[in-house]
Structure 1
Amino acid sequence: MKKLIIGLTLVALSAGIAGCSGSSSKGDETTLRIAMVSPGEGVIKVWEQIKEKYEEAHPDVNVELNYQEDAIYQSIGLPNLLSGENAPDIYFEWAGERLKTRIESGYAADLTEALKQDGLKDAFSEGDFKGMEFDGKTYMIPTASDVSNIIWYNKKIFADLGIQPPQTWEQFIEICEKIKAANITPLASGNKDLWPGGNWIAHLISRVVGEQAYGDALQLKQPFNSPDFVTALGYVQQLWENKYINDSVNAIADDEGDVLFFNGQAAMHPIGSWLVSSALESAPELELGYFNLPSMPNGKGDQTSVLGVQNGFAINAKSAHFQEAVDFMALYSSVESSKLLADAGAMPIAKGGIDPEKTDALSLSLIDMMKQSTMLVSPPDTGYNIEVANAFNMAISQVLGGVRTPAAALAELDNTIAPLKK
């Protein structure tokens, strides 16, 4: 998740305090407040343009834009803002369990009818609303989606060794052996900050234990230290014990893992879709391919699932300015605004925002992968409680780096998160 927002220049704010605002007060006029994770300088400039255009069309409305640093926003920042005196009317949120929590807490308005206004829903494809619809009602306006983890591979290395992208875990292990025999590291990962391995292995775990059990454990509805979770982490232990992954996996950062892969020191690299832009800049000659996680033996989950995130903006159910908020999001979702966002480096999900002629083929393929997915699995740190996610990612890193056995890591995880259970 940490790489979802490209080129972040973060504006760190104290939780619960109104953030960096792009406008000054207009006296007693209506104030429409919008809160979000800082999207970086380039995209902030576009937000300011959209704000100005909206205010020109609505001279009685003053739009306040509040940007917060990612980690603050998703942990205590947004909850404090929502419960504060000047709560946002519109706020950025991740689809799935996080949005569901806002609905249950009374902070997400039903947008089903509002989306019918002026063809707003027609600005999107049906697949864009994954994780935003509950009990037949829609609660979010989508803005972006991202594949959070796939396995990238060096096409030249694969061709030289006569291997193909694997379909099953057994085939994956076979190609790891062939790559290792050629004195090339099969997998490179930089897991110093825990989330890279957390994303990748969480997907593997969901395939083994099933999406329901995965979600239940992360929501503290069942313990992690169970036979299925132990089995899942056993596959991770296999990677370390057979030297299929770099020894430095937990000592280097994600971008250092990128470098190992770009330099040809490793044949595969599990990371998200944002690798494309890094590869185009740092390794333009690299023949880059990708494949989704192979199917797991006797897996209880959907073996075609995609690890990714859908995000967007919800309208506060407690807002006194519902229609103004809908009108603003209609402007934000317009083709004109989407093109401005795309030019600033964002990947807007609304129709007409992305120009296929200006977008690389890999990115277009990944966008289609998200739209076509029938099972979307949320990464630990975007769909669930961040403290639980951090502890989960730590347990994964311990097994990935050979520090703990699966059972020991999971037992420690359960002990760590025990105080969080109500």
Structure 2
Amino acid sequence: MSKRNIVIALQTLCLCLAIFMVSGCSGSGSAKNEDVIKVWHWMTDRQEAFEKLSKDYYDQTGVKVVFETYAPTDVYKNKITAAASGHLLPDIYNPQSDKKELASYINAGYIADLTEEMNTGWKDVFFEKSLIANSFEENNEWGVKPGIYGVPLDVSSLMIYYNKDLFKQAGLDPENPPKTWPEFIEAGKKLREAGIQPFVSGFGEAWLIGAFAASYQWSLFGKQGIIDTIDGKIPYNDERWLKIFKLFEEMRDNKMFASGIVTMVNKDAERTFATGRAAMTFNGSWGVNVYKSMNSTLNYGLMYPPSLPDAKYPLLVFGGDGSSMFVNAESPRKDKAIAFLKWFTQKEQQAYLAKETLNIPSNKESADDLPEILQEFSKSITKTFDNLPKLEAWQVTNYININLQSVIIGEKDPAKAVKEIQEEKLRQTKV
């Protein structure tokens, strides 16, 4: 047997075992649990809060809801994939996928269309951007019927956290973080001179380095320029893309990056920042809860990614949506699952979740009583990227992120990096 056939056989065996393991659990078709709503999720930090709310719901309605956690993310995703293959998905879940993959779940009949229920007034409680992320527009490229398919539980955005004590130690004003790119580089120099690593993030995770770069793509190209790039009207070796890569080169040359940043997963980056081993980190609003659990005395503030003085468009940030839940269209308890999610996203329940888990609630009526740091994140939701009508091929996006990593470690210069990305774009266009 060839090596390739052995690999395929092993993958098939693993999938079969996974399906067997899933079927051993109480999936949506289990007769034993006809009155129990099953929810699968990956948010281990929220399990206790979820269980408290599920008990409240049972006391009020007599309907039992069970939350099951599967982490880390790859374990959770593998379980979802296996369950979908065996038609054993729970009543409520999230496939943890991009728009394209989400469309495949919808088109396969694994996710219910919630538009009718949302139009009863339910959708009015949510931040608009959280709904957009869970919706498909007319004539979308994946052939999904227009509508709302997901229920947002919270919203998020990504900003730069900075350690006020380390800023002060380096002679920087802890109440006046850098706002422009030149100020950002100068702050990095002072931190490095003081023996402090200036900047850390989980840039070993491709999406995170891409999210940081995307702020500058929006700032230099604008929305239409991004769409034109996806359409091939603007090449990736355009001088504006070259400028983006030079920003990372400038950070590298000024020794701003923490050691090992391009192989660092975000959890390690969070730990590095929480323990005072780096002064700044690019991370999401969920970090508020993470840093509290890692170091409750951490003294930090928030800043937007530094703006470019010569940028044509406003600087925006990655975010808008957060975690969402989807109802299994095959579930015999579909109506009960929808009723629970309606209750789960009302003001009182959302306020409780926000207080206990330190995440920004998707219910905009619940955002008024947030801690100050989360209120700052909440305000940034209006400055997140707009929804795009189409996405770049994942192969091209992957090339961008890998080449950004290569520039950071000095393997490639920016000119070579953007040239290779354009070559990959042309290859994908011909496929």
* TM-score clears 0.5: yes
- Cα pair 1:143 1:311 within 8 Å, conserved: yes
> Gaps (5+ residues) in structure 2?
1-16, 139-145
**1:401 and 2:412 correspond:** no
Partner of 2:376, secondary structure, is helix
Q: 1:182 to 1:23 in 2, by over 3 A?
A: closer
Show CA shifts across 1:350-379 (max 9, x none).
3676793xx542123213322x3353579x
- Cα pair 1:189 1:249 within 8 Å, conserved: yes
Q: 1:139 to 1:161 in 2, by over 3 A?
A: same
**1:350 and 2:363 correspond:** yes
Q: What letter corresponds to residue 414 of structure 2 in structure 1? A: P
Q: For 1:125 and 1:258, locate their aligned partners in 2 and report how far apart those are by CA, in whole Å.
A: 27
- Cα pair 1:247 1:401 within 8 Å, conserved: no
Structure 2 counterparts to residues 90-169 of structure 1, below 5 A: 90-92=92-94, 97-98=99-100, 101-102=103-104, 105=107, 107=109, 108-117=111-120, 119-133=121-135, 134-135=137-138, 137-147=147-157, 149-158=158-167, 160-162=171-173, 164-169=176-181
2:183 is matched with: 171
2:3 is matched with: none
- Cα pair 2:29 2:88 within 8 Å, conserved: no
Q: For 1:219 and 1:50, locate their aligned partners in 2 and report how far apart those are by CA, in whole Å.
A: 46
**1:246 and 2:258 correspond:** yes
Cα RMSD after superposing both structures: 4.8
Larger mean CA deviation between 272-281 and 78-87 belongs to 78-87
Show CA shifts across 1:57-106 (max 9, x none).
477xx9786755423555x6546645653455543256983587358736
Higher strand share: 1
Q: 1:31 to 1:388 in 2, by over 3 A?
A: farther
Q: What letter corresponds to residue 367 of structure 1 in structure 2? A: S
Q: What is the Cα deviation at residue 251 of structure 1? A: 5.3
Partner of 2:251, secondary structure, is helix
Partner of 2:412, secondary structure, is coil
Q: What letter corresponds to residue 113 of structure 1 in structure 2? A: E
- Cα pair 1:112 1:139 within 8 Å, conserved: yes
- Cα pair 1:50 1:331 within 8 Å, conserved: no
Partner of 1:50, secondary structure, is helix
**1:50 and 2:62 correspond:** no
* TM-score, normalising length: structure 1: 0.70
* TM-score, normalising length: structure 2: 0.69
Q: For 1:219 and 1:139, locate their aligned partners in 2 and report how far apart those are by CA, in whole Å.
A: 27
Q: 1:390 to 1:373 in 2, by over 3 A?
A: same
Out of 22, 47, 55, the residue aligned to residue 18 of structure 1 is 22
Partner of 1:14, secondary structure, is helix
2:12 is matched with: none
Partner of 1:276, secondary structure, is helix
- Cα pair 2:94 2:324 within 8 Å, conserved: yes
Partner of 2:262, secondary structure, is coil
Larger mean CA deviation between 291-300 and 27-36 belongs to 27-36
2:374 is matched with: 363
Q: What letter corresponds to residue 362 of structure 2 in structure 1? A: I
> Gaps (5+ residues) in structure 1?
1-12
Show CA shifts across 1:324-352 (max 9, x none).
34223223224554466457637343367
Q: What is the Cα deviation at residue 291 of structure 1? A: 0.8
Out of 210, 217, 242, the residue aligned to residue 230 of structure 1 is 242
- Cα pair 1:16 1:77 within 8 Å, conserved: no
